[in-house]
Amino acid sequence: MPFDVDPGLFALLIIAAVFAGWVDAVVGGGGLIQLPALLVAFPTAPPQLMLGTNKMASVCGTTISAITYSRKIKLEHRLLWPTVGLALLGSGAGAVAALAVSASALKPIIIAVLLAVLVLVIARPRLGLEPQPKLRTPMRAAALMLAAGVAVAFYDGIIGPGTGIFLSVAFTAVIGFDYVSAAAHTKVVNAATNIGGVTVFALQGNVWWILGLVMGVGCMAGAWFGARTAMARGSRFVRIVLVVVVLALLARLSWDVWIGYYR
């Protein structure tokens, strides 16, 4: 291992991965828990190594949640797979850009986008509760592919936390899915963004394989339970979790910006 790991710290990271996997499977935003845990646990480690390790664990979680959802939720394959193909490329490009772009410079932009998401979800309380097939037009499908497969995927490659939230809102607001169906499609796209990102990080030597795989097992357990929870509790439950996670992510990023400004 590149760093000595205390067994107690190792256990805490696995617990964080389980919780992150659950949150990510329900609504996205598991990176809000997992990536900060890694950065706090190893403050002297290169950030790119922690980003790559986080991606490795996330690949395991998003893959399991995608499989779990797909067994119960019908997927729109003609819409999904072009988005997945774009997402692989977009996230890979983002991972390359992560070497040159400071994550701290992006945080104010992410805060603004999250605030817009929060306003949208609160202002439209019926959003995502019921499917809206009338929104599934060719023009909106193309817009979704560009938003999810290029813009959000690129962001996921650079930094990541909140990707699932942005994807979920895209599938509900743009194409009219309910939150549970959106989660099913989101996890497939998110698995692709994680694979694209981790491939680039691995080629750069920026993955701590043992830790990433062990945390990945925790992510898998949390993701399996999270997907089943979302399908059992329904879209109203997912909406509540979405609002809570967006607020938590806003608080976390705002704190980071505040601390960075006054240092």
For the stretch 148-186, pLDDT in tens is 999 999 988 887 778 889 999 999 999 999 999 999 999
CB contact at 8 A, 159 and 106: yes
CA–CA separation, 102 and 99 (whole Å) = 8
In the chain, % of residues over pLDDT 70: 95
Listed range (39-43, 176-180, 200-204, 230-234) with the worst mean pLDDT: 39-43
Domains of the chain, by residue range, sit at 7-261
- The pLDDT tens digits of the residues spanning 91-150 come to 989 888 877 776 667 778 788 888 988 999 999 989 999 999 999 999 999 999 999 999
Provide mean pLDDT across the span 52-67. 94
The HSE-up count of residue 201 (CA atoms within 13 Å, CB side) is 32
CA–CA separation, 128 and 172 (whole Å) = 5
Name the residue with tokens 């890694």.
Answer: 38
| pLDDT above 90 for 30 | no
| pLDDT above 90 for 67 | yes
- Would you state the pLDDT for residue 223? 97
CA–CA separation, 2 and 205 (whole Å) = 12
pLDDT higher at 243 or 101: 243
